[in-house]
Amino acid sequence: MASDLVYIKSTTPYSYVERDRRSDEDIVSAPEPLPLVFAESMNEFLARIESKIGKIILPAKLVNVHPMIEKLIKEDARRVTDLKKYRWGRTPLYQSPAGEKLLIALNCLYQMWSQLGARPRVSSGRDLTCSIEFSNSHLPLTFRVRPEGVLPKGAKPETVIYEFAWDYHGLQNDFRKDESFRTMKEITGETVRSLLIESVVLTEQHLRDSAQRAYEYALRERVKAAERIEQRRLAAIKHRREELEQLIASRFRRIDDTLVLFDKAEKIRELIVAFDKKYSEHADHMKNYEHWRSWAVNYANELDPRHWSAEHVQRWIASFKLHE
């Protein structure tokens, strides 16, 4: 795979699984997807990223504030005002020395991410959340000073513990459950460098996983498409066989129905012969017999297939569909 992202030249392009809208025939006839081959292993990728990101030294004060970090500062100031004014509200996060240092570290991270071509963000509203986006790969993060009420048992009041997690699963209410959760007693330039490298590596892994899912999806869809084509072929064969069986059965019914007409016409004629004999012996008692006899003869002739017209016979033969 050979495609460069904006940041540090990843060799893995962004990929995602979407529904294939091609026909089954197009999917099967297209070249089979090639197995994924990465230009470098994840260890090699990590080594390359580490070589690109040098030593980071945190400034003593907050300088060159990133626009997104300004949102955190404004929200924190609002919380301070609310507490003074109403004596209730949410606790400010960055007013203590430890909080100020955390803000400096976050600002440094956001500045570095922006330099790498990523899009660091802070959500809108009162519940601000931080995140970073590398080439459509979204990575939420939570980084804060642990509240005093949840300090480890036996910890001294002045103990400072920072909490961090790549909050993948949206566990904002308890991000400590995230598998990436960790604590640290100090924030240094090396801490920022480590998180910066980790974010790039996690994103690369996400892109590779996404590409792998897309590849596996394409293979599954190819198999499914072939199965659907085969199912339609078998269904067509079954349908054609059923149609043929129905056609043959209809031919037999037409023959049988026609023979019934033939037999019925013959029986009517036999009846006429019997009544003719009776009429010859008792003509005085059968005054309307001649009218009935004329009608019966005509009816027998109409029923008898041997008296059908050539056009009628042709329509009857055509109904057998012998050309199919």
Q: DSSP per residue over 172-207, as a string?
A: GGGGGGSTT-EEES---HHHHHHHHHHHHHHHHHHH
Assess whether 159 and 285 both reside in one domain: no
Collapsing DSSP states into helix, strand and coil, what is residue 304?
coil
The conformation of residue 123, written as its DSSP 8-state character, comes to: -
Assess whether 264 and 119 both reside in one domain: no
Question: Among candidates 187, 181, 182, 166, which has minimal Cα distance to 98?
Answer: 187
Assess whether 220 and 255 both reside in one domain: no
In DSSP terms, 120 is beta-bridged to 132
Tokens of 125: 């509203």
Assess whether 44 and 128 both reside in one domain: yes
Parallel, antiparallel, or unpaired for β 162-165 and 137-145?
Answer: antiparallel
Tell whether pTM > 0.95.
Answer: no
Assess whether 65 and 155 both reside in one domain: yes
Collapsing DSSP states into helix, strand and coil, what is residue 31?
coil
pLDDT higher than threshold 60 for residue 17: no
pLDDT higher than threshold 60 for residue 11: no
Q: In the structure, what pLDDT confidence band is assigned to residue 134 with cuts at 50, 70 and 90? A: confident
Within a domain: 187: yes
Assess whether 169 and 291 both reside in one domain: no
Which residues 6+ apart lie within 8 Å of 66 measured at CB?
Answer: 107, 110, 111, 114, 120
Assess whether 110 and 57 both reside in one domain: yes
Assess whether 40 and 160 both reside in one domain: yes
Residue 185 belongs to what domain range? 24-226
Within a domain: 8: no
Assess whether 182 and 306 both reside in one domain: no
Q: Which long-range contacts (CB under 8 A, 24 or more apart) does 122-129 make?
A: 122/68, 122/69, 122/71, 122/72, 124/71, 126/75, 126/90, 127/172, 128/71, 128/72, 128/75, 129/167, 129/172
The mean pLDDT of the chain is 86
Within a domain: 128: yes
Structural domain count of the chain? 2
Assess whether 155 and 288 both reside in one domain: no
Predicted local confidence at residue 2, as pLDDT: 26
Which class for 108: exposed (0-12), middle (13-18), buried (19 or more C-beta within 10 A)?
Answer: buried
pLDDT higher than threshold 80 for residue 75: yes
Q: How far apart are CA 183 and CA 146, in angstroms?
A: 9
The conformation of residue 231, written as its DSSP 8-state character, comes to: H
Q: DSSP per residue over 246-292, as a string?
A: HHHHHHHHHHHHHHHHHHHHHHHHHHHHHHHHHHHH-GGG-TTHHHH
- Pick from 154-158, 180-184, 231-235: least confident: 154-158
- Sequence-ordered alpha helix ranges (H) in the chain: 24-29, 42-52, 67-86, 97-115, 189-281, 289-303, 310-318
Assess whether 34 and 106 both reside in one domain: yes
Within a domain: 242: no
Within a domain: 306: yes
Q: How far apart are CA 32 and CA 122, in angstroms?
A: 42
Query: What are residue 99's phi and psi, to 5 degrees?
Result: -65, -40
Predicted local confidence at residue 25, as pLDDT: 93
Within a domain: 233: no
Arithmetic mean of pLDDT, 80-85: 82
Assess whether 84 and 218 both reside in one domain: yes
Within a domain: 125: yes
Collapsing DSSP states into helix, strand and coil, what is residue 119?
strand
Taking only the tens place, the pLDDT of each residue in 91-118 is 888 998 999 999 999 999 999 999 988 9
Within a domain: 16: no
